[in-house]
A and B are shown apart, each in its own frame.
Chain A
Amino acid sequence: MDEKTHTFRYTVHGEDFLSAGEASMHAKRTLKELGYSSDLIRRVSVAMYEGEINMFIHAGGGEAKMEVGENEITVTLIDWGAGIPDVDMAMREGYSTATADIRSLGFGAGMGLPNMKRFADELTVSSTVGVGTKVVMRFAIRNKE
Chain B
Amino acid sequence: MMGKMTVRELGDKLNLTAFCLPNPDAEVTGGYVGDLLSWVMGRAGEGQAWITIMSNRNVAAVAQLTEVACVILAEGVQPDSDLLTAAEAHGINLLGSARDSFTLAVELGKRNKE
Contacts and interface: CB of A to CB of B under 8 A. Distances in A.
B36 to A, nearest CB: 4
Say what secondary structure dominates the interface of chain B.
helix
B56 interface: yes
Given A107-B37, A109-B37, A42 B65 contact: yes
B12 interface: no
Given A107-B38, A108-B36, 15 more contacts: A28-B64, A28-B65, A42-B65, A46-B41, A46-B42, A46-B66, A49-B62, A49-B65, A50-B38, A105-B54, A105-B58, A109-B39, A110-B38, A111-B36, A118-B42
B82 interface: yes
Say what secondary structure dominates the interface of chain A.
helix
Taking residues whose C-beta sits less than 8 angstroms from the other chain, chain A's interface range is: 20 to 34
B42 A115 contact: yes
B58 A46 contact: no
Contacts of B39: 109, 111
B18 interface: no
Contacts of A108: 36
B57 to A, nearest CB: 6
Nearest to A45: B65
A141 interface: no
Given A106-B54, A115-B42, A38 B67 contact: yes
A101 B98 CA distance: 25
B61 to A, nearest CB: 4
B25 interface: no
Given A106-B36, A109-B38, A111-B39, A24 B65 contact: yes
A73 to B, nearest CB: 16
A106 to B, nearest CB: 4
A25 B62 CA distance: 10
A105 B41 contact: no
Given A106-B56, A106-B58, A115 B41 contact: yes
Contacts of B56: 105-106
